[in-house]
Amino acid sequence: MTFTVKMCGLTFGGNQPPHVMGILNLSPESFYKNSVRDSFSILEAAQKMVDDGASLLDVGARSTSPWAEVISVEEEKKRLFAALEELSGNISVPISVDTMYADVAEGALNRGAEIINDISGLKADDRMGSVIADHDACTVLMATQKIPGDPLGMDAVMSALSNAVSIAENAGIGSDKIILDPAIGHWIPEKTAEYDFEVINQFEKFSVFNMPVLIAVSRKSFLNSAVEKPAEDRLIPSLTAAAIAAYKGGHIVRTHDVSETAEAMKVVWAVRNQSGSI
């Protein structure tokens, strides 16, 4: 690792092994139905993830899949804020909120969230950057050109992330508050699995940013091109893809399967330490 950064009470890079980010899904519209919780069971699910090895939690109340049913911002707030009221003060790890909307982000930050995970790279809502900056919060920025996840190929992903960093810094967000997400997944019809495999294969290139990089491959459909299995049966493919990306320099693995991912990251870290790589 060529850098070390501390944000939201965690250390990334240096001698720190990859962190595990547990997914707390409040959206019945999501592609992976087994992951869906409600606000009444979320505290128990969150605590189990922490016990299983999660050092961050990502809470989402709207499916970010472009193929999912669209819900209103008010419905997103209703689901999310109730869950945050349950989690705030009761969970020992930083809470991230997956949203593209400034009003949702502001309400979440006022209810204990510390990170805003914006799949639009701050492009969907002009106020998002200033809301994050005003709260001195951290942010995950996904590679986006015009719509979330649309860059095709590694060069386009790198360019989109560079642009997202510029937008964030111009809004007053410090470089030590930014996590990058290369937008792995079938975000647009033209984005075939080969583009995602290319990004995973070249994951070490993100080191030029000197920022933590998120690995978000859990149960995603691009894996189906290799194994031809539904989301419910994509655990092993997910762990394999995450392990390769982590070995090549990824810092955070966003996952539905915390315990299994935490074990896989221990092996990745043991191998990386032995080889002296990355």
Task: Write out the catalytic residue numbers.
Answer: 220, 254
Task: Please list the residues that pair with 59 across neighbouring strands.
Answer: 24, 97
Closest CA to 168 of 117, 205, 215: 117
Going from the C-alpha of 89 to that of each of 9, 112, 116, 272, the distances in angstroms are 15, 8, 18, 35
Q: What is the dihedral of CA 30, 32, 34, 36, to 10 degrees?
A: -20
What does 211-256 look like in DSSP terms, one character per residue?
Answer: S-BEE--TT-GGGHHHH---GGG-HHHHHHHHHHHHHTT--EEEES
Q: What is the dihedral of CA 56, 62, 68, 70, to 10 degrees?
A: -160
The SS3 call for residue 4 is strand
Q: Helix, strand, coil shares of the chain as percentages rounded to 5?
A: 45, 15, 40
Q: How many CB atoms lie within 10 A of CB 272?
A: 18
Is the dihedral angle over the CA atoms 259, 265, 266, 268 positive or is it negative? Answer: positive
